[in-house]
């Protein structure tokens, strides 16, 4: 679960340890970490942070345009100038890329497409049962804007109720305002089809409830973090397998919860205070 790719020396050693001990039982796992790791006192993160969740959505899709469906675009810089793909979300929504042969599929509505953009990958399920997997292939290079913050500023959702679920619920209940709100986030994501499991920035398969996205200014890919869920008084280990444009700060992480509706339910309501301790190998 720890990638060998893009690692510093310490995390490369951690990777070798993990590969040698892949089939440990729960008690043996605890013993393994006690014997081979210690808290990195130099990189201890005492300040409280926030853990949210992300997931791989599964969305109804069609191979042709239907009423109210929304296109999922690929980025083809061989056929078109790169500047075409640097347009704002609003410009693209107004038909800038229409009928250029860039459509991978059409999904059930723009709200589901918007959250596919936020997650960065997903599964498109067609009426015949076929599933097409898509992942991030590029963006329009515009700044990411949290629509949750916009809804807070406009007093549409109370601060104590803000979550991915409440944001999505509000958009569905206020479709006359939803488009304008979503277009405040000018960052637009393009996708590509792929085969296999979803991978993070570290180039390794993401594992539900283990893989986390981190800010690489403070953590390196492959870092093992002991995460303390302050409210629920739970500790668990996460491995830095991914990054995200909204993940900023030493104690700000995003936990990968899996794919499908259950994963969406967990991720949508996940917004908890945490503290973090980094583990490092005892091997010198």
- Domain boundaries of the chain, sorted by first residue: 9-54+201-281, 56-194
- pLDDT score, position 15: 57
**pLDDT tens sequence across 131-160:** 999 999 999 999 999 999 999 999 999 998
pLDDT at 231 over 90: no
Percent of the chain whose pLDDT exceeds 70: 88
Q: Is 146 exposed, middle or buried (0-12, 13-18, 19+ CB in 10 A)?
A: middle
Question: DSSP code of 114?
Answer: H
pLDDT for 244-265, tens place per residue?
A: 888 999 999 999 999 988 999 9
> Is it the case that residue 67 has pLDDT exceeding 70?
yes
**Predicted confidence band of residue 20 (pLDDT cuts 50, 70, 90):** low
Interatomic CA distance for residues 131 and 125, integer angstroms: 5
Give percent helix, percent strand, percent coil of the chain, each to the nearest 5.
30, 30, 40
For the chain, the maximum distance between any two Cα atoms, rounded to a whole number of angstroms, is: 62
Residue-wise DSSP of 60-72: EEESS--TT-EEE
Alpha-carbon distance of 36 to 276, in angstroms, equals 19
- CB 214, CB 224: distance < 8 Å: no
What pTM did the predictor assign?
Answer: 0.78
CATH of domain 56-194: 2.40.240.50
What CATH class has 9-54+201-281?
mainly beta
């Amino acid at each position: 679960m720890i990638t060998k790719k893009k690692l510093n020396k310490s995390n490369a050693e951690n990777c070798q340890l993990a590969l040698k001990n892949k089939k440990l039982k729960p008690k043996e796992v605890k013993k393994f970490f006690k014997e081979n790791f210690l808290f990195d006192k130099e990189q201890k993160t005492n300040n409280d942070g926030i853990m949210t969740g992300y997931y791989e959505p599964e969305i109804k899709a069609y191979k042709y345009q239907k009423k109210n469906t929304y296109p999922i675009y690929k980025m083809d810089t061989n056929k078109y100038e790169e500047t075409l793909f640097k347009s704002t979300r609003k410009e693209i929504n107004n038909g800038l890329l229409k009928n250029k042969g860039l459509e991978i599929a059409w999904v059930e509505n723009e709200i589901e497409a918007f959250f596919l953009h936020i997650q960065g990958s997903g599964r498109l399920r067609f009426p015949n049962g076929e599933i097409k997997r898509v992942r991030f292939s590029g963006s329009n290079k515009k700044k990411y804007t949290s629509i949750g913050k916009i809804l807070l500023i406009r007093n549409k959702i109370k601060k104590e109720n803000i979550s991915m679920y409440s944001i999505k619920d509000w958009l569905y209940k206020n479709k006359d305002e939803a488009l304008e709100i979503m277009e405040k986030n000018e960052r637009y994501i393009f996708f590509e089809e792929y085969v296999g499991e979803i991978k993070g920035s570290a180039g390794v398969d993401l594992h539900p409830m283990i893989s986390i996205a981190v800010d690489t200014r403070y953590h390196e890919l492959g870092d093992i973090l002991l995460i303390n869920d302050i409210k629920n008084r739970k500790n668990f280990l996460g491995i830095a397998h991914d990054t995200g444009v909204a993940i900023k700060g030493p104690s700000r992480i995003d936990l990968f919860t899996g794919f499908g509706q259950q994963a969406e339910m967990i991720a949508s309501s996940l917004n908890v205070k945490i503290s973090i301790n980094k583990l490092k190998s005892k091997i010198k």
